[in-house]
Amino acid sequence: MSNWRRRDFLGLVAGSAVGFTLGKLGLPALLGARPDPASTTRSHDGLDAEREALGVCGGCSAGCSVKLRIVEGRLVGLRGNPLCPLGAGGLCARGASEVEAYYDPDRIVGPLVRDGDRAKDRWNRVTWDEGLARVSQQLGRLVGSRRGARVGAILSSARGSMGAAVERALAAVGSPHVYHVDALRDEAAAPFAALAVGADRRFGYDLETTDLVLSLGTPVLEGWLSPAYVARRFGQGRQRTEARLRLVQVESRMSPTAMRADEWIRCVPGTEPLLALAMAGVLLREGLVDASAQAALVGLAPWKDAAGRLHRGLRPLLDYAYSPVTVSRETGVPVVDILRLARMFGTAQNPVAVGEQTAGSAGAFGLGAVHLLNALRARSGSRGCVVTPDTIPVTALGASAPVEGRIDRPPIASVASTPVWRALGGFETEGREPPFDILFLEDGAAMSDVVAGDPASRLLGKIPLVVSFASALDASTAAADVVLPSTSYFEQALDVEIDAGGFVAVAAARPALPPLLDARSPAQVVPELVRRSGREPQLGTEEQMVRYRLGGLYRARRGMAYGTPFRRGWMAQMEEAGWWTPASISEGQFIDSVLERGGWVDPRMPRPGFSPEKPYGVDARGRGFVPPAKALFAQGAEDDAWLPHNESAGDSPGTAQGMLLVPFTVGVLRGRGSPNRPSLLALAAPHVRAGFHPWAELNPKDAKRLGVESGGKVRIASEHGNVVVSLRVTEGVRPGTVALANAPAAGGAGRYAKSWKAGSERLMAGIYGRLTGARTGRGMRVQVEAEPKGAA
């Protein structure tokens, strides 16, 4: 370019300008007009672009009513329904993550059939016809040979329209085997309620007026009962100036609940029921119990039964075996604290003791120990906090035509409401064949804490056909041969029965959205399978079913559609006086109003379980905490075996040297639905910066002794199994104990949840409470050692 002159330079500049302009003008002519690629919206963001619809949250089985924000047909947000009697507009963290779960990138897109045996993780995508045919073939064979009772279903949803549809469908083939598992409740809660008061459901807890919550190991504020309801009552109770709520948390580890408690009582892990028994003894000795409660409880003082045998009675046992000095030694809680707590409980206006645990139950007798406190402080005629919920008068769907070979009552449960998985495990340990040829599992949460290698899991492996309705890969799909994915609750017409707070309610909703994926609700799939196998369950559409069930509420002349607290109070008064104002509208209008408001609620609490005529803790036959053993169990058992006692101490001979295990739940990860929720996994433990995978906690003294540091890995072994987990060192753990997160069976294979696999339940496999079979394990001993880096 060295021979360029000024002219050439100017020419270049002019040429650039010309070229530039030509480019600007010429390109569209060259390419022609083309349409603007649309953004996420097409054109119509006009009138119906945004709408709000009601739904029922599917995060757990509590049944909160939610309002969904739908923009251009997409779900983009949700909030609580202000009229919901549980949350009153608030939501728990899991409920708030339902939008995230709805769009889980690892959701199952359609029916799957396993390719090969169950050890392989290969699936084939099939059409609904093919998937249904796979199952209905087997079902047809069973029906044809009159063995329809060999079909079972285990659901993670609360009782409701879906459960009723499945029940009726299975009844049409002759099977009564529909079971519900609740991830947020202690497995022993229902059997205990059956023992204590002959209830067919577990207790609800009415926390509205309580001024003292004494929690013996229960993660009250972390995924228990109905988290939205508990949080609401806790918040209200703490913000009151009169009879302000106090929370006393008794456990060995500083859990998020203990952080917020007014008092944290540090006790040796697994000994919480002992503390309850010591306190009961103090209450009785110091006369801090209600006189009529004491009089009504049979079995406190020595008594003679009909055959003339003398029973020692509970009171002498409390004095002898559970004195404050003895218990102080066992639990590590100073005697003064035991006395002080007992007196606090004895003088509070409306106290409640809770002992339900979800990572290692206290067992039915451990719960009995805790509820003994409630029984002693129950006051004649008053509402109290522990409530046996009324039955909900929805229309029972009942059975359709009679079926040959039908069995009406499940033979599995020898004790009322035994956790079904423990009963199945019992089949295995007794060497019996599985009772089912086909088992339906709603999702991973329906498997509660079934762990690979324990009897229930082995039995599951022997069932020829396992079908999962899960919407994401989880423990149930790992065990299944066919996956028929379910729609989200937001895509179904459904109702869910609510009884967590003592009052009864039914959340109900129409479908708010069309199905996002090629999924179908089990309420449609199971009846369809039954039809294809040759029987007619006589069920309509989901909405027809819901309306049919809600019709029973109208005919019972009770309750109202969800309304404001003022309206509920007003309706309760009217009902007390015998009026029922919705009588002025038709049944159809009543049902419409229920669906438009989000649900139905009975504004009156059930009549108190305790009254001079029918005291708490005494069943219909007049027996108290000496349980109705004669009807259910073999005679000759020692008295003490049936009285409330500490059932939760693990028995692992040979490891008496190790550290005590403290299994704990991560509340937000307990529940149903997709486990692949990164917001919740990140929230698992903000105080130790853990999440996304299970972790163990050690006290700094123990960590130093073992030579491990935060972030390193440790191997924890019991005689039943071992796990390798990441470690966090924190002062919140009692020296000599190791806390280990419990990984509920809902841990899955999605990209976020894939590391949430094995936790404390693996160590506790095979340790079950004597009566109910609920998994215990608190207080068992384990070996802990550093795991070298680089090991798997």
Partner 1 sequence: MIGRSAAWLTGIGFVFALGVGAYSSERYTDQPFPFSHAAHVRGASCALCHQGARTGPRAGILDLVACTGCHAVPPGNPSGEQRAAWQKAEAGVALPWNRLYRLPPHVYFSHRRHVVLAGLDCSSCHGDIAQRTTAPIRPRQIVKMRDCIVCHDHEKVTVDCTGCHR
Partner 2 sequence: MRWAMVIDLGACTGCGACVVTCRQENNVPVADEETFYHGRNLDWIQLEDQAEGEYENLRVRQYPLMCQQCDKPPCVKVCPVRATYRDEEGIVGQIYRRCIGCRYCTNACPYSVKTFNWKKPGWAEGTERRQSPDVSLRPAGVVEKCTFCHHRRQKAKEAVRAEGRELGAGDYEPACVEVCPAGAMTFGDLDDPSSPLAQLVQDRHGERLMDDLGTEPKVIYLRPPGGRS
- Binding residues (CB under 8 A) for partner 2: these are 40, 71, 74-77, 79-80, 87, 89-93, 95-97, 99-100, 102-103, 105, 221-222, 227-228, 230-232, 234-236, 238-239, 244, 254, 256, 259-260, 262, 264, 266, 667-668, 678-683, 686-687, 691-693, 699, 730-735, 751-752, 755
Q: Assess 11 for contact with partner 1 (CB under 8 A).
A: yes
Contacts of 91 (CB under 8 A, 6+ apart): 57, 64, 66, 78, 79, 80, 228
Q: Tell the smallest beta-carbon distance from residue 44 to partner 1 (Å).
A: 5
Residue 735 site contact among partner 1, partner 2, none (CB < 5 to 8 Å, cut-off depends on kind): partner 2
Site residues for partner 1, 537-596, by CB under 8 A, read none
**Amino acid symbol at 351:** P
Q: Tell the smallest beta-carbon distance from residue 262 to partner 2 (Å).
A: 6
Residue 462 site contact among partner 2, partner 1, none (CB < 5 to 8 Å, cut-off depends on kind): none
Cα–Cα distance, 15 to 786 (Å, whole number): 75
- Taking CB under 8 A as the criterion, the residue among 10, 45, 76, 116 binding partner 1 is 45
Backbone φ, ψ for residue 50 (5° rounding): -125, 130
**Residue 718: helix, strand or coil by DSSP?**
coil
Q: Tell the smallest beta-carbon distance from residue 21 to partner 1 (Å).
A: 7
Q: Tell the smallest beta-carbon distance from residue 76 to partner 1 (Å).
A: 13
Residue 96 site contact among partner 1, partner 2, none (CB < 5 to 8 Å, cut-off depends on kind): partner 2
Residue 238 site contact among partner 1, partner 2, none (CB < 5 to 8 Å, cut-off depends on kind): partner 2
Q: Assess 651 for contact with partner 1 (CB under 8 A).
A: no
Write the DSSP symbol of residue 349.
S
Cα–Cα distance, 558 to 269 (Å, whole number): 45
Contacts of 117 (CB under 8 A, 6+ apart): none
Structure-block tokens of residue 542: 């989901």
Q: Tell the smallest beta-carbon distance from residue 701 to partner 1 (Å).
A: 52
Residue 16 site contact among partner 2, partner 1, none (CB < 5 to 8 Å, cut-off depends on kind): partner 1
Name which of 2 and 239 has its Cβ closer to partner 2: 239
Q: Tell the smallest beta-carbon distance from residue 48 to partner 2 (Å).
A: 14
Q: Tell the smallest beta-carbon distance from residue 534 to partner 2 (Å).
A: 39
Cα–Cα distance, 467 to 484 (Å, whole number): 7
Residue 603 site contact among partner 1, partner 2, none (CB < 5 to 8 Å, cut-off depends on kind): none
Q: Tell the smallest beta-carbon distance from residue 678 to partner 2 (Å).
A: 4
Q: Tell the smallest beta-carbon distance from residue 91 to partner 1 (Å).
A: 24
Q: Tell the smallest beta-carbon distance from residue 104 to partner 2 (Å).
A: 8
Cα–Cα distance, 132 to 126 (Å, whole number): 10
Q: Assess 411 for contact with partner 1 (CB under 8 A).
A: no
**Residue 654: helix, strand or coil by DSSP?**
coil
Residue 18 site contact among partner 2, partner 1, none (CB < 5 to 8 Å, cut-off depends on kind): partner 1
Beta-bridged to residue 786, according to DSSP, are: 714
Q: Assess 77 for contact with partner 1 (CB under 8 A).
A: no
- Taking CB under 8 A as the criterion, the residue among 28, 334, 534, 711 binding partner 1 is 28
- Percent helix, strand and coil across the chain, each to the nearest 5: 35, 15, 50
Q: Assess 41 for contact with partner 1 (CB under 8 A).
A: yes
CA dihedral 338, 232, 487, 392 (to 10 degrees): 80
Evaluate the CA torsion angle 383, 390, 82, 218 in order and state its sign: positive
Q: Assess 12 for contact with partner 1 (CB under 8 A).
A: yes
Name which of 28 and 686 has its Cβ closer to partner 1: 28
Element containing residue 195 per DSSP (H, E): helix 189-197
Residue 47 site contact among partner 2, partner 1, none (CB < 5 to 8 Å, cut-off depends on kind): partner 1
Cα–Cα distance, 347 to 197 (Å, whole number): 25
Q: What is the DSSP string of 500-568?
A: TTSS-EEEEE---S--SSS---HHHHHHHHHHHTT-------HHHHHHHHHHHHHHTT--EES--HHHH
Window contacting partner 1 (CB under 8 A); options: 42-50, 198-206, 243-251, 644-652: 42-50
Bridging pattern class, strands 303-304 and 310-311: antiparallel
- Taking CB under 8 A as the criterion, the residue among 2, 27, 431, 790 binding partner 1 is 27
- Taking CB under 8 A as the criterion, the residue among 2, 29, 33, 684 binding partner 1 is 33
Q: Tell the smallest beta-carbon distance from residue 41 to partner 1 (Å).
A: 7
Q: Assess 26 for contact with partner 1 (CB under 8 A).
A: yes
Residue 453 site contact among partner 1, partner 2, none (CB < 5 to 8 Å, cut-off depends on kind): none
Q: Assess 21 for contact with partner 1 (CB under 8 A).
A: yes
Q: Are 340 and 328 within 8 A, CB to CB?
A: no
Q: Tell the smallest beta-carbon distance from residue 505 to partner 2 (Å).
A: 16
Site size for partner 1 (CB under 8 A)? 31
Q: Tell the smallest beta-carbon distance from residue 207 to partner 2 (Å).
A: 12
**Residue 184: helix, strand or coil by DSSP?**
coil
**Amino acid symbol at 753:** A
Name which of 22 and 259 has its Cβ closer to partner 1: 22
Q: Tell the smallest beta-carbon distance from residue 2 to partner 1 (Å).
A: 12
Name which of 12 and 585 has its Cβ closer to partner 1: 12
Residue 198 site contact among partner 1, partner 2, none (CB < 5 to 8 Å, cut-off depends on kind): none
Q: How many CA atoms does the CB half-sphere of 296 hold within 13 Å?
A: 26
Name which of 438 and 500 has its Cβ closer to partner 2: 500
Q: Assess 42 for contact with partner 1 (CB under 8 A).
A: yes
As a whole number of angstroms, the longest Cα–Cα distance in the chain is 130
Cα–Cα distance, 344 to 123 (Å, whole number): 59
Contacts of 674 (CB under 8 A, 6+ apart): 101, 104, 107, 471, 472, 474, 748, 750
Q: Assess 409 for contact with partner 1 (CB under 8 A).
A: no
Do you know the residue count of the chain? Answer: 792
- Taking CB under 8 A as the criterion, the residue among 2, 6, 29, 36 binding partner 1 is 36
Cα–Cα distance, 324 to 286 (Å, whole number): 13
Residue 548 site contact among partner 1, partner 2, none (CB < 5 to 8 Å, cut-off depends on kind): none
Name which of 45 and 576 has its Cβ closer to partner 1: 45
3-class SS letters over 399-437: CCCCCCCCCCCCCCCCCCCCCHHHHHHHHHHCCCCCCCC
Nearest C-alpha neighbor of 626 from the set 610, 649, 642, 648: 642
Cα–Cα distance, 704 to 28 (Å, whole number): 73
**Residue 389: helix, strand or coil by DSSP?**
coil
Residue 42 site contact among partner 1, partner 2, none (CB < 5 to 8 Å, cut-off depends on kind): partner 1
Neighbours of 52 (CB within 10 A): 12
Residue 607 site contact among partner 1, partner 2, none (CB < 5 to 8 Å, cut-off depends on kind): none
Residue 234 site contact among partner 1, partner 2, none (CB < 5 to 8 Å, cut-off depends on kind): partner 2
Q: Are 500 and 229 within 8 A, CB to CB?
A: yes
**Amino acid symbol at 59:** G
Q: Assess 20 for contact with partner 1 (CB under 8 A).
A: yes
Residue 90 site contact among partner 2, partner 1, none (CB < 5 to 8 Å, cut-off depends on kind): partner 2
Residue 87 site contact among partner 1, partner 2, none (CB < 5 to 8 Å, cut-off depends on kind): partner 2
Nearest C-alpha neighbor of 663 from the set 787, 785, 777: 777
Q: Which residues bind partner 1 (CB under 8 A)?
A: 8, 11-12, 15-16, 18-24, 26-28, 33-36, 38-39, 41-50
